[in-house]
Structure 1
Amino acid sequence: MANHYRTKAVVLSKKNVKEADQLFSLFSEDFGKISVLGRGIRKITSKLRSGIDTFYFSEVEFIQGKEIKTLTDTVALDKFHGSDRISEATEAIVSGQEKDRRVWDLLMESLGQGCSSEIACHFYFWNLLSISGYGFNLGDCLKCGRKLPEDNNTFSFGGGGIFCSCSEGDIKISANAIKLLRIILRKDWKTLARLSCPKTLFSELDSLSWKVQETLIRQHSM
């Protein structure tokens, strides 16, 4: 008799396979990042389809076959909005099926604060990098050690932080972006809840995050 496993999970992505199946990528509380197959789930009559979809927080049950996990039950607990960046970051940075309580707790913390989706996404992305071993020095200049000025600073992923004008990093970064990243990495939710950030600041962090994420994807593909 096949063993049944039950866990809570955030649905990162889904892909149509065959005529009526879907393959889901999940980050689960008990098993880390896993793929599970929903057989016949695209059929209108499927009992599974109401409990699982992209960006759902669900309780799922599956059986482990020789090669694949197959869904047997789903219960939708919540739905997160604007979480595509969180899903993409998890897919890009987290690899392999392995329980990771730190990532799970960070996921729940990021999505459970009720703040803007922009803050939640950047909070998750930069703290996920931190617990995955990609720490950044955002205090003083990496080369000269002096306090960072208000302008002419650059971010270096390979260098691990910020350079002032005495050297040159990869990406220009504003003083306000540095300040926001410091607050995010301190996990200072009280300050984050009070912030009213202009769209230009979020656009700057979006661009920086994409470039960092693309660098990671290239490194993992080598």
Structure 2
Amino acid sequence: MSAPRFFCSAPLAPGGIVSLPDNAAHHVVRVLRMKPGDELTLFNGNGSDFAGEILRINKNEVVAKLNRATPAGRESPLSVTLAQAVSSGDRMDFTLQKAVELGVSAVQPIAAERSVVKLNGERAEKRREHWQNVVVSACEQSGRATVPTVAPILPLTDWLGRGETYALKLALSPMAEQRLHDLPPPDGPICLLIGCEGGFSPQELLAAAGCGFVPVRLGARILRTETAAMAAIAAMQTLWGDF
């Protein structure tokens, strides 16, 4: 059985001694009931895993010693930014969790015209922090040692106006004629744009097309927003990545 993995934002190095973050310490003590001498793995997002062992447990504080570092080697050869329109309930959490497991490299939440959830100011930042924690947990589970960043929420037009460069820009649309397998393999970063529960408005789709986004569809069926990202990333990994 592999050692439990935990994210730790502190600097990590072989021979170092670190205190685990509160949430990780709680999981070690209250859930896993680990003891001094038990092995664990820490990572801080730099691409390496650090194998170590628990030195001591004081109430809810867990102190570990790091023994060695190894490259995790679990990153996808594809660099995919998921531009996901904000969805309601647990849908957004589920979408980000599965996208990270499938290898997405960055997340841009989009405020779309038809988004049910409207967030701004402090509420938007708190939700972004929550989503970042969802991403961290997905990295812990999936063995990834590079943590995708969840950017602040932006309206679609504001984000498109930034003019970010990608080798391939894709916008999922059930009305599109092209499918993923009709496209040549990209020679650089990919951006995948996905709508919310009601999809993007015609004006939003026109704006995306004007910025170089290619409309594509995934088969003949209309997918829910939380299914679309998962299906599209898995298909790209099969066609061009490491599946």
Q: Same fold (TM over 0.5)?
A: no
The structure showing larger relative contact order (alpha-carbon pairs under 8 Å, at least 6 residues apart) is 2
Q: Quick check: which one's helix share is greater?
A: 1
Q: Structure 1-normalised TM-score?
A: 0.33
Q: Structure 2-normalised TM-score?
A: 0.31
